[in-house]
Amino acid sequence: MSNVRHDAGEPAAPTIPVTAEIVTIGDELVLGESLDTNGRDLARALRTIGVAVTRQTTVGDAVEGVAAVIREAAARARIVVTTGGLGPTFDDPTREAAALAAGVPTVFQPDLWASITTMFERFGRVPTDNNRAQAFVPFGAHVIPNPVGTAPAFALDVRGACVICLPGVPREMRYLTEHAVLALLVARFGLTERLWLRTLHCAGIGESALDAAIHDVVTAVPQDGTLAVGLAAHLGVVDVRLTARAANAAEADGRIAPVEAAIRERLGDAVFGADDDTLPGVVAAALAARGWRIAGVEAGVGGALAAALAGAGDVCAGVEVVTDTLSAAALEAAVAAARRSRAVEVVVGVSLRRAGDPAHPSPEAGRIDVCLATPHGTTTTTLAHAGHPDSGPSRAVAAAVDGVRRAIG
């Protein structure tokens, strides 16, 4: 199926979809000292085998707290995946917490200790006494060898759920997920389908207006878990995400295509692309197809228009950057001058007057002026921007680039 993302492999589903929860462990996460990327990467990996993640929880390094979160997650989901807390130091609680959640002791595994010692030897190091802690696992756990690190992973049953405990080091977590965990879960639960994604990107329409436009389409989708529709708003762009649970590409396409067609009909030219498409990329391709080039003039957006057009390659003849805001008339004059000097078919100009400090609001909103010159003429539009001042440049540039898309479309 050419228009739906998927990952290689076979796969139709259990009657009741298997769901998972992810638990990321570490004081550094709850204190905001480190950014959790493991939860995102795990969720993406699990969807390739048809497992939807319904909740992600971050918890600190207290053993009792981790055990409580594991028990609670195991009561809701059939799969619980934890990351972090498998190191050898006093603040690595996962082995003990998982055993506490399962109601079993931890036991020393001589073979595991031998493999840990061998791994240290490969690194040219000698394990310290505290490394022996990594050779303990909950009683009855299935050890998952870790050939890329010293922290072994393991799986065990907690209240009927399959709990898999992985290292927190991202590269180790990703390696074990790809090379061991996914196959383990497919075999354990007889998984025969996956989640297939199609994302439509929209511009020039707000999230609430978009929601109202497609409301009847979304409410008509069967609530049987085979297809879900969701929205995600970004600065200047709103995504419509369609997620199908299916055994193969053809089956996924059969579920996604009619809903996608109905959504496109409702939204019209607000939809500018899908999946990996970007607004600047779509505009650059449209210009290249016509043999046209573009130049830009930006004022008060801090280089945001130049950054957006940077990937256009030879299609872009450059962007003039003005630090201060320009009036609409001054922007029009600058656009006309750029079109003459650059000898291009299209010039887009954008000027932003930022709103005031949100902590001290004023009745005057920010102002975005967009001037667009094409072979069809010159137009200037003005938009109000009442959001956070820091989001003004992104919204202004999205409006400018989308204006180019619509004008040359």
Residue recorded with tokens 């000097």: 341
Domain 279-408 in the same topology as domain 194-274: no
Return the pLDDT at 358. Answer: 52
Hey, where are the domains in the chain? 19-189, 194-274, 279-408
Q: What is the mean pLDDT of the chain?
A: 89
Of 331 and 148, more confident: 331
User: In whole angstroms, what is the distance from residue 408 CA to residue 327 CA?
Assistant: 25
Give the pLDDT band (50/70/90) at residue 17: confident
With b for 16 or more beta-carbon neighbours within 10 A and e for fewer, the 259-289 pattern comes to: bbebbbebbeebbbbbeeeebbbbbbebbee
- Percentage of residues in the chain having pLDDT higher than 70: 93
Give the pLDDT band (50/70/90) at residue 150: confident
Query: The tokens of 8 are what?
Result: 């290689």
Amino acid at 286: A
Amino acid at 7: D
CATH class of 279-408: alpha beta
What is the phi/psi pair of residue 197, to 5°?
-115, 140
What is the phi/psi pair of residue 156, to 5°?
-155, 165
317: helix, coil or strand?
strand
Return the pLDDT at 94. Answer: 95
Amino acid at 36: D
Is pLDDT at 157 greater than 90 in this prediction?
yes
Return the pLDDT at 34. Answer: 92
Return the pLDDT at 356. Answer: 62
Return the pLDDT at 11. Answer: 41
Give the pLDDT band (50/70/90) at residue 365: low
User: In whole angstroms, what is the distance from residue 221 CA to residue 227 CA?
Assistant: 7
Is pLDDT at 119 greater than 80 in this prediction?
no
Q: How far is CA 359 from the centre of its chain?
A: 30
Per CATH, the number for 19-189 is: 3.40.980.10
DSSP 142: E
Return the pLDDT at 353. Answer: 87
Q: Confirm if 139 and 152 have CB atoms less than 8 A apart.
A: no
Give the pLDDT band (50/70/90) at residue 111: confident
Q: How far is CA 265 from the centre of its chain?
A: 26
User: In whole angstroms, what is the distance from residue 402 CA to residue 277 CA?
Assistant: 13
Alpha helix (H) ranges present in 270-327? Answer: 279-290, 304-309
Return the pLDDT at 89. Answer: 77
Q: Confirm if 171 and 212 have CB atoms less than 8 A apart.
A: no
Highest mean pLDDT among 9-23, 122-136, 280-294: 280-294
- Model pTM? 0.78
Write down the architecture of domain 194-274 according to CATH.
2-Layer Sandwich (3.30)
